[in-house]
Amino acid sequence: MSSSALTHSTIKNGWYSEVNDMWPGQSMNIEVDEILHVEKSKLQDVLVFKSKTYGNVLVLDGIIQVTERDEFSYQEMITHPALFSHPNPERVLVIGGGDGGVLREVIKHPQVKEAVLCDIDETVIRVSKKYLPGMSISYTDPRVTVHIGDGFDFLKNKKDYFDVIITDSSDPVGPAEKLYESHYYELMSGALRAGGIVSAQGECQWLDLPLIKSVTKFARKIFPVVKYAYTTIPTYTSGQIGFVLCAKDASTNFKEPLRRLSSEEELKLFKYYNSEIHRASFALPNFTRKEIEDSTN
């Protein structure tokens, strides 16, 4: 079937509309130029379309995962605050992230000797290699290895191994739901070497404060240092997404990068991240700060 004949329930009259019970009363709409790919994998609904203004867009189960125009904000900020907070991140694990964007950022660090991606759905990797080359180019790096399977099972077999674990998960529905539970954070802790760091997708403070409060509360029972940071990104619901950062070393100060690049190097390597953005991402509005501070009780 040619791409011009493809249809999808979320696209009507030339517009993609993201309507979901997780954000009642609002929706995200993007004008569509062409539907490129529609597929039902074993686990989820996969859609790729070319938009009028945001480049190619990957949608899983009716929720935008990445667009070529703004993906760098998310990929850089789930990655670099964690890696720049570790003195020597040699072994990095990415759980989820089949589009390859987080891997692309991980391998920008010369300290990284091994970058492993574990994704439960090979379809996302295959589709991203075809339609999202700016992200999936990371798969060509010789330091990268890929494991197709469940992140839980993978972590059970890796003890005291990784320096940084990044969980690039979708929203807490379907296969990703258990990635927001305490047992998962316990498994990540066990898979980290001494001084290890976690960076996990932490949802939106405008929509998901009860979940953020729950995650930070149980995470503090597992890790001595837990912080919440966020970035701006127009095509994620409400224009923001956050990250839960955890450290096994009680002396870790996430707000201050351990390693610094020159301004020239930052401009060359990154579109969003810099050392000032690193610090600022942990400055939370009062309504969020109050909830997260209350989660220590």
Whether residue 33 lies in the annotated active site:
no
Among residues 168, 208, 249, 294, which one is catalytic?
168
Select from 171, 237, 233, 209 the least CA-distant residue to 295.
Answer: 209
Our measurement of the distance from residue 251's CA atom to the centroid of its chain's CA atoms, rounded to an integer in Å, reads 25
Looking at residue 105, the DSSP 8-state letter turns out to be H
Select from 4, 15, 105, 95 the least CA-distant residue to 53.
Answer: 15
Answer whether 214's CB lies under 8 Å from 294's CB.
no
Sequence-distant (≥ 6) Cβ neighbours of residue 283 within 8 angstroms = none
Burial 193-204 (b: 16+ CB within 10 A, else e): eebbbbbbbbbb
Would you tell me how many other CB atoms lie within 10 Å of the CB of residue 124? 25
Burial 65-80 (b: 16+ CB within 10 A, else e): bbbbbbbbbbbbbbbb
First-to-last alpha carbon distance for the chain, in angstroms, is 57
Q: How many residues does the chain have?
A: 297
Q: How far is CA 162 from CA 104, 166, 248, in A?
A: 18, 10, 12
Token couple for 213: 């409060």
Q: Which residues are catalytic?
A: 168
